[in-house]
């Protein structure tokens, strides 16, 4: 089993919709995660960190559920520009990435 | 701009030839990483470094070696390139301690024919 797993999608949603992605992890000792965003043929860039208390940044909310061993990313009021691949990252010295979830927002 | 550059950006090489990719940073960041990205697999760690001459293997290290003889450069070498090593290679650096975010280079597209 991979250490970090994601549904590859694609998630196709209309503008203005709310969409959520989950990422499951296998190591119960994991405490720190990131969400990265990657546009087509570009390098990944940090979207936000994931704290145990939850983290909100504008339309984006990230949460960590230790009991069920998953992290989530919620995007409200989706924009066309949110179309990208979202990567879940387990923050260890090795930085382990999930395979990514593709989001496509349509008009 | 985290001051990280990769070279070359694109390369086509023949099977069996050695290839070296370079990752250069302009600051003295301790952690550097090499990943490869392939459809359906996401980013997979090849090797990483936590200091000069300090390196460790990642998930897909077979067929690759690395060198970090000075802080600013992390080299990835394919000793004898194979078609299965056709991929996009990303270098990353950690800006700060081991729990801070990573910044990525723009990637190197390598094709082995």
Is the CB of A43 less than 8 angstroms away from the CB of B106? Answer: yes
Backbone φ, ψ for residue A81 (5° rounding): -70, -10
Distance from CA of A14 to the nearest CA of B (A): 25
Q: Which residues does chain A have with pLDDT short of 70?
A: 1
Order of strands, sheet of B73-78, starting from the edge strand that comes earlier in the sequence? B4-7, B19-25, B73-78, B64-70
Share of chain B above pLDDT 90, in %: 82
Q: Is the dihedral of CA B77, B17, B63, B99 positive or negative?
A: positive
Strand, coil or helix: what is B51? strand
- pLDDT score of B24: 97
- For chain B, give the longest Cα–Cα distance: 40
Summary mean pLDDT of chain B: 93
Interface test with B, best of A43, A45, A50, A86 (most B CBs within 10 A): A43
Residue in B45, B56, B107 nearest the CB of A96: B45
Alpha-carbon distance of B70 to B73, in angstroms, equals 6
- pLDDT score of A32: 85
Which element (helix H / strand E) includes B112? strand B108-112
pLDDT over 80 at B107, yes or no? yes
Residue in B45, B104, B105 nearest the CB of A94: B45
- pLDDT score of B33: 96
Q: How would residue B99 be classed by pLDDT, with cut points 50, 70 and 90? A: low
Q: How would residue B101 be classed by pLDDT, with cut points 50, 70 and 90? A: confident
- pLDDT score of B69: 96
Which residues of chain B does A97 touch, with a Cβ-Cβ cutoff of 8 Å? 35, 42-45
Is the CB of A95 less than 8 angstroms away from the CB of B33? Answer: yes
């Amino acid at each position: 089993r991979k250490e970090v797993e994601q549904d590859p999608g694609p998630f196709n949603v209309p503008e203005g919709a709310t969409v959520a992605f989950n990422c499951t992890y296998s190591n119960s000792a994991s405490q720190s995660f990131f969400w990265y965003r990657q546009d087509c043929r570009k390098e990944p860039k940090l979207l936000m960190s994931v704290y145990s208390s939850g983290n909100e940044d504008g339309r984006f909310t990230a949460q960590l559920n230790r009991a069920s061993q998953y992290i989530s990313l919620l995007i409200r009021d989706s924009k066309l520009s949110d179309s990208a691949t979202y990567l879940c990252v387990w923050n260890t010295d090795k930085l382990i990435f999930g395979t990514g979830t593709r989001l496509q927002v349509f008009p | 701009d985290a001051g990280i550059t990769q070279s070359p950006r694109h390369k086509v090489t023949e099977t069996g030839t050695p290839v070296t990719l370079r990752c250069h940073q302009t600051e003295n960041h301790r952690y550097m990483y090499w990943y490869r990205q392939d459809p359906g697999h996401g980013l997979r760690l090849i090797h990483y470094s936590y200091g000069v001459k300090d390196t460790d293997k990642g998930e897909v290290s077979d067929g690759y070696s690395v060198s970090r003889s000075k802080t600013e450069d992390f080299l990835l070498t394919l000793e004898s390139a194979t078609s299965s090593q056709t991929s996009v290679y990303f270098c990353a650096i950690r800006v700060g301690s081991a729990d801070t975010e990573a910044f990525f280079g723009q990637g190197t597209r390598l094709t082995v024919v």
